Structure 1
Amino acid sequence: MSVVQQQVDGGLNENEISQQISSEDGRQNPPQTDTLRAEASTDRQQYCDLGIPDIHAALRELTATVIELKENIRALETQLRDEMNKKNEEIFSQVEELRKENRDREIAFSAALMESGNGYIGPFPTEITLTYRNVFTNIGNAYNPITGVFTAPLKGAYMFRISVFGHGPVSGASIYKNGEKVVIAYDNQPQYDLNSSNGVVLILEVGDVVYVKLWPNTRIFDSENNHSTFSGFLLFPLPSQQ
C-alpha cells in the first residue's frame, strides 16, 4: 500500500494504478501451467475411455458370436435332417402297412363248371357240391377249385352270384353258407333251354364258407361258352369284434 500511496501522491492516474496492481498480483500468483496441462490430459484420457470402445475387442467378440451362430445352425440342420429321416421312415412304414392291408382286402373270384369240353353234371339222388374248375379269377386265393368252396379270409360283406343253364326238364342249384341254404337259382322247362341266376350279399366272419349245391334229380349243363358260373367278391371289410 505504500507503493500505491506514493504513486498516487506522485500524480498517477486511476487507470495506471489499476494496471500496476494487476501486475503486482500476477507476479505474486503465477499461473499453474503444468497442473492445468496434466488435468487436461487426464480429462482427454477419461473421455477416450468413456466414449471410444476398443475396436479389436469388439471384433473378437463379434467373431466369437458368428462362430457360435454357425455351430447352432449346423446343429439345427442336423436335428432337422434326423427328424425328416425319421418322419420319412414312419411314412414309408405306414404306406407299406396300407398296401398290405389293401392287398388283404383284394378278394374276388369267378369260375365256370367245366375246364374243357361240354356236357351235363347230374342228375344225382341227393344234393352234391358243385366244383367250378374253370377259374377265370381268384384274387386272394379264397376259392378252392378242387372242393368248390370259398373260405372268407377276413370279416366283411361279400357278394355272391350263380348262373344255371340246362336243357329240360329241370335245373336248379342253391348257394350255401356254413351248411345253410341261402338262395336258389331254378328253372323248369320240359322241352327247351333252362336259364336262371341269383345273387346275395352275405356278412361273413373269418373262416366262414360259401359253396353251391346241385338239387337232387336235376342236372346242369356247361360248355366252352361257360354258361354255368359261380362268382364272389368282397364288397368291404368289417371291423372284428373286440
Structure 2
Amino acid sequence: MEFMTLLVLTLLGLSLVEPGFGQGGDGDRSEWLTAKEELLKKLEDKLKHVERWQSDVEALEARLNATVDELRGQKAEVGKLNKGNEGLRMRLNAAEKEIDRLKRDSGAPRVAFSASLSNFGEINRGPSTDKTLIFKRIFSNIGNGYDKSTGVFTAPVDGLYYFSFSTYGYNTHVMGAMLIKNGILQISTYDFPSVDSSDSSSNSVVLQLAAGDKLHMELWDNGAVSDNLNGHTTLSGFLVFPLSKLEK
C-alpha cells in the first residue's frame, strides 16, 4: 500500500510539473505532453501490476492462515488418537494377562473332595491314643487328593485351598477336632462336656499350600465325636486357584 501511495504522488507531481517552453512554442508543448502521456501510461500499467501482486499476496496469506489452522486441527486430532491408542494398549495388556491366567488355570488340576466319618450305621471315635480321624464315606474326590485309608489330604499343586469341617458328639467327652497342616494346628472346633445331651460345631479356613503339604483332622485329648449316615461329622476342601512362583 505504501508503494501505491508513492506512485499516486509521483503521478500528481508529474502532472503539475511544466517545463519552460522556448521559441518552439506549440511544437515543444505537444512533444512534452506526448512524453508525459507515455510516462503516465507506463506508471498506470505498473500500478495495475502492483495491485495484482498485492491481491496475490493477500490470497497467499489467507491460504497460509488456513493451512496453519488445518495443521493445528490435525495436531489436536493426533493427540486424541495417541490417547486412544494408549487406552487400547492398556486394554490389550490386560487381555494378554487374563489369557495367560486362563492358560495357567486350564492346565492346573481340578481338586475337590468331601467326606463324612461314617460309611455305615452310627460310629463313635475317641477317646483314643490314635487321634487321627479317617473320613470313610466319600461324596467326591476329584483329583484324588484325599486318601480315605489314612484320612490325609495331600496338596497336588501350589495354591490357595478352602477347607471346612463339622463335628458332632455327646456330652460325655470333649467334643471337637483340629485341622492339622504338616503337624501344626490351624483351626479347630471345641465344646466342653455340658448338660446338653449332644453338641455340634463347624469351622472353615483358606490356606496357602505348597505341593506336597499334608492336612488331616485330629481329636482333642480325651475328645470324642460321633457320626451316622446323616453326615454330622464331615470334612471338605477344594483348590480355589493355583499360585505361580511370582504370586507367592
Q: Smaller-chain TM-score range? A: 0.5 to 0.7
Residue 230 of structure 1: CA displacement?
0.5
Matches for 1:86-105 after TM superposition, within 5 Å: 98=103, 102=106, 104-105=108-109
RMSD: 2.2
Please say if residues 120 and 229 of structure 2, whose CA atoms lie closer than 8 Å, have aligned partners that are also in contact. yes
Corresponding residue of 2:168: 165
Residue 129 of structure 1: CA displacement?
1.0
1:122 matched to 2:151? The reply is no
Please say if residues 186 and 197 of structure 1, whose CA atoms lie closer than 8 Å, have aligned partners that are also in contact. no
User: What are the Cα deviations for residues 25-78 of structure 1, in whole angstroms up to 9, with x where unaligned?
Assistant: xxxxxxxxxxxxxxxxxxxxxxxxxxxxxxxxxxxxxxxxxxxxxxxxxxxxxx
| In 1, Cα distance between equivalents of 2:107 and 2:146 | 16
Gaps of 5+ in 2: 1-98
Which 4+ stretches in 1 moved above 4 angstroms? none
Residue 204 of structure 1: CA displacement?
0.3
Normalised to the residue count of structure 2, the TM-score between the two structures is: 0.55
Residue 232 of structure 1: CA displacement?
0.5
Q: In terms of Rg, which structure is larger?
A: 1
1:183 matched to 2:195? The reply is no
Match of 2:218 among 186, 190, 213: 213
Please say if residues 168 and 225 of structure 2, whose CA atoms lie closer than 8 Å, have aligned partners that are also in contact. yes
Normalised to the residue count of structure 1, the TM-score between the two structures is: 0.56
Figure out how many residues of one structure are paired with residues of the other and give that number: 145
Corresponding residue of 2:242: 237
1:202 matched to 2:211? The reply is no
Please say if residues 162 and 197 of structure 1, whose CA atoms lie closer than 8 Å, have aligned partners that are also in contact. yes
Please say if residues 117 and 135 of structure 2, whose CA atoms lie closer than 8 Å, have aligned partners that are also in contact. yes
Residue 103 of structure 1: CA displacement?
6.2
Cα distance 1:103–1:231, how it changes in 2: closer, same or farther (>3 A)?
farther
Please say if residues 127 and 216 of structure 1, whose CA atoms lie closer than 8 Å, have aligned partners that are also in contact. no
Percent identity between the two aligned chains? 41
Tell me which amino acid in the other structure corresponds to 2:137. Answer: N
Matches for 1:1-242 after TM superposition, within 5 Å: 98=103, 102=106, 104-124=108-128, 126=129, 128-169=131-172, 170-188=174-192, 189-240=194-245
Gaps of 5+ in 1: 1-93
SS in 2 for 1:227: coil
User: What are the Cα deviations for residues 76-115 of structure 1, in whole angstroms up to 9, with x where unaligned?
Assistant: xxxxxxxxxxxxxxxxxx9xx95x9636331100000011
